[in-house]
Chain A
């Protein structure tokens, strides 16, 4: 018999018992659907994370107070601030690989305008920050050196704040906004950014010049920065050398002896992105493992039904042998049935998995990333499951004695 004929005979046998064939293959369908949807969703999540980090800027470095090993990575809070304004200036001026450096300070504050109240983040920074984030003003302008030097009471507001204080489609440039009851005049609205990698709204923010922030909103600390320094390297490739240079500079400035621990931490945005991605990947492989187990369970289901089928069809097997089927032909027939079942299960599973991934992805608003290779592997793997779990029942069938098989009731 040719392969096509063998497959055709197997299909005919399976079609004689449609419902059972379908139920048998269901385990494989679910297993493969799980593999496909999980990998698609996982890939989507990773792509989403990396695109979000990319949108934040791939050449960003963040300098925190405190050593990473002391758990002070988030800096500022809890640990003693160690970064000074002079450190910031030196990083900005002296390191060739550094293009921008801006302080990042923040407090939660009540803002008010036109009788409306809104609780938001107020950040003190400089114009460099907007350069690092590649974040232009949608209307009006960003504050500059003049405002910084003068400690001007000016603010750049995010879209969410505008929406909540003034209403959508309102241009508040020139209006007054009260931050902790201090009046600031709005000079710009930052372009809409959406959610960041951690899911918080980037537009729910008010920016003020760092000098004004220190003078009016959060005083004290004198030479120390009550926050972090955000650095923009000249290019993504330069982030590594920029990081080394910053570490060297700060160790010198802070007079840290060789062998002693840093009192600051420099983090690379791409490092943080890959940490997140690593998490997503671990999750994916965990889910893939579960899916694999369910595939094997599906295979055992196939073996079970094939064994039942061999017993039920003992007379058929005896007849086929009497009519000249060699043991190998019987073996191949039953293995083929198992493989056809599992491969059809695999194909249905791919379809169901893609469907499920589509649905979930629209709910999560992630990109849909289906690797065609993954589908091929999943179907191939279910074929292997069919061979492995079909072999024993098929072998049993091929070993039957034709006379006893023909007499079987």
Chain B
């Protein structure tokens, strides 16, 4: 199968005036549809930088990036916005929900930039919230929800537009271990049921253990890329 994500020799250099920071120094990676991939690595190893490039929020300094067969480097600002809107679903560490805005409206947000009618937006957002188990919290604002619930709203928002790729940068970073397991269970089920591609960044091995494939980064390079041992199941790791 053609890969959803194909990175070739991606570098990213930040110019901070006096020093140049080489955040990525030649990353090549292929991700197939339905993959569930965890990126690990020390702080500052370039994980978030890579995720931003994957999410078309940032452009690489060199190298090529093909997303669903399309060369991202050739796309305009507006086309990138459209890719973010339709092909990618983001989940952030700090949830990034709009304050004083109901869960439903937060989930509707990506559909708003797609010209979906108000009624369809409402319907799709409600069913996405139902899928994350928040049918009874639709009209609550972020301040009325627990961290785990907020992250589930954010996941519903990432799902609502049926993207091909979900990018989650430390989705459980702000959650306790029990809630983290719930979130990972949900992601796992999602990948298995829908065949969506999931790329997540985490520091915790027991979270990474939920993935099928683990990529380890160090100083802007991928130093290890392996499939999960057939023997160990995630439940055993967390137990």
Contact = CB atoms under 8 A, between A and B. Distances in A.
Interface stretch (A124-132, A150-158, A169-177, A324-332): A324-332
Contact of B58 (A9, A323, A328, A403): A403
Interface string A305-332: 0000000000110011111111111000
A326 B82 CA distance: 8
B126 to A, nearest CB: 18
B96 A326 contact: no
Contacts of A5: 112, 118
Contacts of A1: 112-113, 115
Contacts of A326: 77-78, 81-82, 113
Nearest to B58: A403
Nearest to B82: A324
A253 interface: no
Contact of B100 (A16, A328, A403): A16
A406 interface: yes
Contacts of A327: 77-78, 81
B109 A320 contact: yes
Given A1-B112, A1-B113, A9-B112, A322 B98 contact: no
A26 to B, nearest CB: 22
Contacts of A383: none
Nearest to A326: B81
Interface stretch (B83-91, B211-219, B225-233): B83-91
Nearest to A6: B112
Nearest to B89: A323
Contact of A316 (B85, B98, B157): B98
Interface string A7-47: 00100100010000000000000000000000000000000
Interface string A89-132: 00000000000000000000000000000000000000000000
Contact of A12 (B85, B90, B92, B101): B101
Interface residues of B, number: 28
B85 A324 contact: yes
Contacts of A325: 81, 85, 113
Nearest to B100: A16
A322 B84 contact: yes
Contacts of B109: 319-320, 323
A190 B114 CA distance: 80
Nearest to B77: A327
Given A9-B112, A16-B100, A324 B84 contact: yes
A2 B115 CA distance: 7
Contacts of A324: 81-82, 84-86, 110, 113-114, 161
Nearest to A398: B77
Contacts of B86: 324
B118 A319 contact: no
A75 interface: no
A5 B108 CA distance: 12
A346 interface: no
A402 interface: yes
Given A1-B112, A1-B115, A322 B101 contact: no
B112 A322 contact: no
A126 B157 CA distance: 93
A320 B115 CA distance: 14
Interface string B64-101: 00000000000001100110111000101000101111
B57 interface: yes
A321 B81 contact: yes
B52 interface: yes
Interface in B154-206: 157, 161
Interface centre among A2, A322, A328 (most CB of B within 10 A): A322
B227 to A, nearest CB: 30
A406 B112 CA distance: 19
B55 interface: yes
Contacts of A2: 115
Contacts of A9: 112
A191 to B, nearest CB: 68
A27 to B, nearest CB: 25
Interface in B15-39: none
A319 B78 CA distance: 15
Given A1-B112, A324-B114, A326-B113, A403 B52 contact: yes
Contact of B96 (A12, A328, A406): A406
B171 to A, nearest CB: 15
Contacts of A12: 101, 105
Contacts of B84: 321-324
Interface string B98-130: 111100010001101111001000000000000
Contacts of B82: 324, 326
B96 A319 contact: yes
A399 to B, nearest CB: 10
A323 B113 CA distance: 8
Nearest to A319: B96
A1 B52 CA distance: 26
* Listed residue (B52, B85, B110, B113) with the most chain A CB atoms within 10 angstroms of its CB: B113
A322 B55 CA distance: 8
A2 B114 CA distance: 11
B8 to A, nearest CB: 22
B47 to A, nearest CB: 14
A327 B77 CA distance: 8
A329 B113 contact: yes
A323 to B, nearest CB: 5
A403 B57 contact: yes
* Residue of A5, A319, A323, A328 with most partner-chain B CB within 10 A: A323
A9 B106 CA distance: 12
Given A322-B84, A406-B96, 6 more contacts: A5-B118, A319-B109, A323-B157, A324-B161, A325-B81, A326-B77
7 contacts: A5-B112, A5-B118, A16-B99, A16-B101, A319-B109, A324-B86, A325-B81
